[in-house]
Structure 1
Amino acid sequence: MTEAAELPPAPEQAREVFGERFTDAVRYAELLADAGVRRGLIGPREVPRLWERHLLNCAVLSEVVPEGVTVCDVGSGAGLPGIPLALVRPDLKITLLEPLLRRTNFLTEVVELLGLDHVTVMRGRAEEVMGKFQPVHVVTARAVAPLDRLAAWGVPLLRPYGEMLALKGDTAEEEVKAARAALSKLGAVKTSVLHVGEGVVDPLSTVVRVEVGESPGGVRFAAKRAKAARATRASRGRRR
């Protein structure tokens, strides 16, 4: 068995970013380094860089999230970026959406332990909750899937004129180019690559912002409506 790496002390930037919730951020980091590793939610090699690569990298996403909006963190996993975002932004109403039971159990424990009353944990896949889920202003995601697939899951969860914010790496620009046609079909009206976290993280965190228009989900919603209409007509025909 690989010996667990030691969690380094929180950097000074963490005190500035998390402010009054700094102690809770430390507790969350400790949970990730301990239970998170034991339950296979995070690799043991990530422990030495939990602060810079994970907590702070996710927390600076708050720089581009509007005030007082609803957020769904798709494929939340161990709570990244949803938990750090919740710690720095109590004005947000956040849903952590995750399909795996062992992860939702961990997320529920974290939310209760840290007293994050503005956070809800929901078990399920994005494509399964469509139609059962109140659309949100913002969808967030990190390391879930390539942009075209991620958008197919996340964009239909948005309200009209909402936006998806995906934390990406060095290939963000290439992913945007490759996904341009798919994004257009989903109702995206603007896609941009942003860099956030100046003075906090190095390198800066890269965020792909996908903004939608009046009809998020585009042809996907249209196809579902058409399929439902065909089923209704067929049912009426059988009754006749």
Structure 2
Amino acid sequence: MIDDARTAFAAEFDVSRETLARLDRYAELLAEWQQRMNLVGSSTLPLMWDRHFRDSAQLLPIAGTGKRWLDIGAGAGFPGLVLAILDPTAKLVLVESITKKCRFLAEVANETATAASVGVANMRVEALAGSKFDIITARATASVEILFDWSLRFANASTRWILPKGARVQEELASAAQWFQFEHELIPSRTDPDARIVVAKGVKRR
């Protein structure tokens, strides 16, 4: 099943053999580190290529290549490290407050030859020095409203938020709209029929 999902992933995203080998190394490291610390739900490890890699990779066609990304609450590196492996022209800052998870992120970056394009910030996003990003993302970290609140200072007029969300996305958007003005569209997730990807821009406080 893993081999089938891996083959399907490579075909869907037109992945080279070299890039696929880097993702294989990522998968190996995730399985090794998962034995020592809780990086992902253990039940999702056999589904890694679809549940984590594909779920992350689907953001790249939306964003386009060569972007500067901020990944808030990077955790095990999804989506940030997957995007770095797939797009060598991207620059990413992965923000993660848990030190041992940052050690994992740094090792994966080193082992997959993406360390030059990935910065790992071991802190809460509120403490991150101000900078501007093309794309702001987060996976299973916080609500849309909270993510806007945390990250608005990192945005300029052209910044987009690309946020994978579950079945409660409409509730989150309604709550965010009480405090922020924004334009958005919802893109169906490739990995979950109930999930949507929020693509927002023009975010301003009310």
Asked if 1:192 is matched to 2:182, the reply is no
- Shift of residue 14, structure 1, vs aligned partner: 1.9
Quickly say closer, same or farther: Cα 1:31–1:204, change in 2 above 3 A: farther
Q: Distance in 2 between matches of 1:55 and 1:37?
A: 19
Q: More displaced, 36-45 or 114-123?
A: 36-45
1:85-234 residue pairs with structure 2 within 5 A?
Answer: 85-116=83-114, 117-129=116-128, 132-184=129-181, 188=182, 190-197=183-190, 201=191, 203=193, 206-212=196-202, 218=205
Q: Distance in 2 between matches of 1:193 and 1:90?
A: 27
* Alpha-carbon contact 2:25-2:111 (below 8 Å) kept: no
- Shift of residue 28, structure 1, vs aligned partner: 0.8
Q: Distance in 2 between matches of 1:141 and 1:147?
A: 9
Q: Distance in 2 between matches of 1:60 and 1:139?
A: 15
Q: More displaced, 107-116 or 15-24?
A: 15-24
Count of residue correspondences: 201
Q: CA RMSD in A?
A: 2.1
Query: SS in structure 2 opposite 1:161?
Result: coil
For structure 2, the 5+ residue unaligned runs are none
* Alpha-carbon contact 1:176-1:191 (below 8 Å) kept: no
* Alpha-carbon contact 2:98-2:122 (below 8 Å) kept: yes
Query: SS in structure 2 opposite 1:38?
Result: coil
TM-score normalized by the length of structure 2:
0.88
- Shift of residue 207, structure 1, vs aligned partner: 0.9
* Alpha-carbon contact 2:79-2:139 (below 8 Å) kept: yes
* Alpha-carbon contact 1:36-1:78 (below 8 Å) kept: no
Asked if 1:8 is matched to 2:7, the reply is no
Amino acid at match of 1:90: P
Q: Distance in 2 between matches of 1:181 and 1:51?
A: 37
Moved over 4 A (4+): none
Q: Distance in 2 between matches of 1:12 and 1:122?
A: 33
* Alpha-carbon contact 2:184-2:201 (below 8 Å) kept: yes
Amino acid at match of 1:102: K
For structure 1, the 5+ residue unaligned runs are 1-6, 220-240
Query: SS in structure 2 opposite 1:159?
Result: coil
Q: For each residue in 1:3-40, what CA deviation from the matched residue of structure 2 results, as whole angstroms up to 9, or x when unmatched? A: xxxx9334322222233401111111121122134221
Q: Distance in 2 between matches of 1:164 and 1:170?
A: 18
Q: Distance in 2 between matches of 1:97 and 1:202?
A: 25
Q: For each residue in 1:42-88, what CA deviation from the matched residue of structure 2 results, as whole angstroms up to 9, or x when unmatched? A: 22111121111111111111011133221111110110100111111
* Alpha-carbon contact 2:185-2:200 (below 8 Å) kept: yes
Q: For each residue in 1:182-229, what CA deviation from the matched residue of structure 2 results, as whole angstroms up to 9, or x when unmatched? A: 222xxx3x12211254xxx4548621112026xx6x47xxxxxxxxxx
- Sequence identity of aligned pairs in percent? 27
Which residue of structure 2 aligns with residue 22 of structure 1?
20
